[in-house]
A and B are shown apart, each in its own frame.
Chain A
Amino acid sequence: MGTNPVPNKKLAIFTATGCRACENAILDIHYQVSSLARCADIAFWPYMLGSEVRDLEKQESIDVCFFAGAIRTSSDREAALKLREKSRIMVACGACAAFGGMPGLVNISQWSVVSGQSQRTMDNKQQTNEEEKPELPPLESRVLGLPQIVKVDYLVPGCPPTQNFLWAAIQSLVCNGQSPARLSFAASRLPEAIAQAITSGILPPKGSIFAGEKAVCASCSRVKEEKRFETYKRPYQAYEELGRCLLEQGLVCQGITTQEGCGGLCTAMGQPCRGCFGKAEAIFDPGAKMVSAISSTFDSNDAQEIAALVDDIVDLVGTFYRYTLPTQCALFSTPSKD
């Protein structure tokens, strides 16, 4: 074993249907990238190493797999099943893998529409470019999050996951046992339950979410008052009174339903929360909670005025369930694999 008492972990990183920003986020841990290379052997990473799914057969086993992206096509499903089979720890990394993400919004359309359109695109491509026709694997009937098809050990939410959480997750799962200083650093950034597990040298309980316990409002720096609004605004229409709660300014800010952990990054910059950490634990359905929160700020007792206000608010499903439709919407979600 030589100088290093702990053998290096074998790491796999993969994106199914997604934009690969999660993989970029893993690279975005600055100088720590080099320490990652010291404590892990990256066995499978198509984005960086050009590995292919069929190469996985050659791997005996993988210690930790960071799986990003939603399950959209049959090849996504195959890759997820194969990686689950090979990996000791499976981490759903990013909102798409953890909750279904933005690709999951397609579930509000009827399946026939979705498949019909993709079939048409395929036909067009075949006509125009017979030589190199791209092959789209068969689509799943609906977009799913990773926990809905395989058992997932940990979730790292975010779109993409924030740098400090991601690095803390990597350290606690991949680099554990390497350096006490590094572990205590990671623990200082993680929620208490996870931090306690890591500092005592064990893995956090299965199913842990690497995010805070409360809602984003708990860590948002803005001032909350009892204020009501008469008009609803889109984010580009309002950027004033920096210190005041965005919801009270008439913006649809989802901090109230969203799990804490980002530290209120967007709200600090005047952008309403978009909900990329998924719903906070105490919330049954994020959409219903937002309906309740927004309507309580309407400053009117008149049914017609209220109806006019509601008319201004567009695309409720796409806003309230922007990242979570397949897994956290009461009417659309399907159960997870235990």
Chain B
Amino acid sequence: MSDFEPKIIAFLCTWCAYVAADTAGIARYKQKPNVRVIRVLCSGMVDPNYVLKAFASGADAVLVGGCHPGDCHYISGNIKAMRRAPLLRKLLEEMGVENGRFRLEWIAASDAPQYAEIINQMSEEVRSLGPFSPSTIK
């Protein structure tokens, strides 16, 4: 288990979270290399289908990053993401996907250190959860 490297799919909103990720790279913050970033226009466009498809295709965890409530470029896209997340998390839990494997985080464009911290924290948490495989139930 020690050489297990988690695969985390991160859907990052192009206005805040993606900028934070970009800045975190430029500023050379130390980050775990377990994240595959998918840049989206808004956290509100991350359909629950995307999250399920990520898990079904072999992701160990999914992160959705958006602007803080009130800061959305499209006024209320992140509120839509916020409404969706608890129900999706509940569905995933019922299907045996642990809570820590799906996260919705608000990351401001200027907050590169926070982005790096979330990534590092999440990588470690998922590493301790072990690989996710829907086939464990088969």
Contacts and interface: CB of A to CB of B under 8 A. Distances in A.
Contacts of A298: 83
A291 B84 contact: yes
A307 B89 CA distance: 11
Contact of B87 (A107, A111, A300, A316): A316
A138 B101 CA distance: 36
Contacts of B138: 141-142, 334
B51 A288 contact: yes
Nearest to B57: A330
Would you call the interface of chain B mostly helix, strand, loop, or mixed? helix
Given A296-B80, A296-B83, A331-B95, A316 B90 contact: yes
A99 interface: no
Contacts of B84: 291-292, 295-296
A332 interface: yes
Contacts of A301: 69, 79, 82
Contact of A330 (B52, B69, B79, B87): B52
Contacts of B56: 330-331
A121 B88 CA distance: 36
Contacts of B87: 291, 294-295, 310, 313, 316
Contact of B95 (A108, A111, A292, A303): A108
Interface string A280-324: 000011011101101110101101001100100101110010000
Contacts of A129: none
B26 interface: no
Contacts of A320: 91
Nearest to A288: B48
Interface string B109-138: 000000000000000000000000010011
A110 interface: yes
Contacts of A141: 138
A250 to B, nearest CB: 14
Nearest to A292: B48
B2 interface: no
A288 B47 contact: yes
6 contacts: A284-B49, A284-B53, A292-B84, A303-B82, A310-B90, A330-B52
Given A288-B51, A331-B55, 4 more contacts: A284-B52, A285-B49, A295-B80, A306-B86
Closest 8 CB pairs of A and B: A288-B48, A330-B56, A331-B134, A288-B49, A310-B86, A295-B84, A291-B48, A295-B83
